[in-house]
Amino acid sequence: MTFHIGAKPGEIAETVLLPGDPYRARWAAQTFLKDAVLVNEVRGMLAYTGTWKGQRVTIHGTGMGMPSLSIYVNELIRDYGAQTLIRIGSAGAMQPQVKLRDVVLGMSACTAGTPSRTIFKELHYAPTADFGLLKAAWEAGQAKGIGLHAGQIFSSDTFYDERPDLNEQMQRHGVLAVEMEAAELYTLAARYQRRALAVLTISDHLLTHEALPADQRETSFADMVDIALTAAFA
């Protein structure tokens, strides 16, 4: 047990999927895992461990934002031995070719600041995904025949943004989508020599202002979870 995770030794798998929403963790576990068991509910942050095609998997919520994710990923790696960590979550599209329900694979994640920022001082560190996971996820997505994109994403530390000028520059430089956690996940994975990737479903669009209704979000996220699981064990 740690300060924030109540799982016993051995109850967390080496492969961990990381949705922000703990209820999405429950949905994904019930939908994709066999014999899923609740292994954490400290502070309402749900985690389940089960099997997918015979492989042990944990699906653990992280909360919203990089500071929250940083707590859970640090503990999952240092105290439970997690080796492969894949964020599964929603994102807002920033390019016209990226559509609602498309899946975006984050090759790299730019950010205005992360919990790790003070470590690097004057260095502008570039957090990137594990190439093996990225390649496997791309192949899995192509096989499904869905709208699929791979490229740079933006990990924001604010949800209610007051910087339209910054959004314009990111759109100008080809940033595909905005979310709130991947940059810190990639940084921690690099620090501890682990594998990490963000597989994201587009739930809203910054250019068209379209958005998926709440009741459609879970069912639209199935492709993302399947891609993440396939990539983890490719």
The pLDDT tens digits of the residues spanning 57-93 come to 999 999 999 999 999 999 999 999 999 999 999 999 9
Locate tokens 């996971």: which residue?
Answer: 133
Locate tokens 């994975």: which residue?
Answer: 189
pLDDT at 204: 96
Q: What is the mean pLDDT of residues 175-199?
A: 98
Enter the DSSP assignment of 221. Answer: T
Q: Are 197 and 130 in contact (CB under 8 A)?
A: yes
Is residue 2 domain-resident? no
d(CA 22, CA 182): 17
Q: 1-38, pLDDT tens digit by residue?
A: 788 999 999 999 999 999 999 999 999 999 999 999 99
CATH number of the domain that 86 lies in? 3.40.50.1580
Q: What is the mean pLDDT of residues 163-190?
A: 95
d(CA 117, CA 112): 9
d(CA 6, CA 2): 6
Is residue 150 domain-resident? yes
pLDDT at 218: 66
Binding residues for a purine D-ribonucleoside: 4, 179-181, 203-204
Alpha-carbon distances of 205 from 34, 131, 182, 222, rounded to whole Å: 34, 27, 19, 19
Is residue 3 domain-resident? no
Is residue 4 domain-resident? no
Is residue 7 domain-resident? no
Full residue range of the structural domain in which residue 129 is found:
15-232
Q: Which residues contact 166 (CB under 8 A, 6 or more apart)?
A: 112
Is residue 120 domain-resident? yes
* Domain count within the chain: 1
Q: Are 55 and 24 in contact (CB under 8 A)?
A: no
Q: 50-59, pLDDT tens digit by residue?
A: 999 999 999 9
Give me the DSSP letters along 176-217: -EEESSHHHHHHHHHHTT-EEEEEEEEEEETTT--B--HHHH
Q: How far does CA 9 lie from the centroid of its chain?
A: 24
> What are residue 202's DSSP bridge partners?
91
Catalytic residues: 204
Q: 124-135, pLDDT tens digit by residue?
A: 899 999 999 999
Q: Are 167 and 206 in contact (CB under 8 A)?
A: yes
pTM of the model: 0.95
Is residue 117 domain-resident? yes
Is residue 6 domain-resident? no
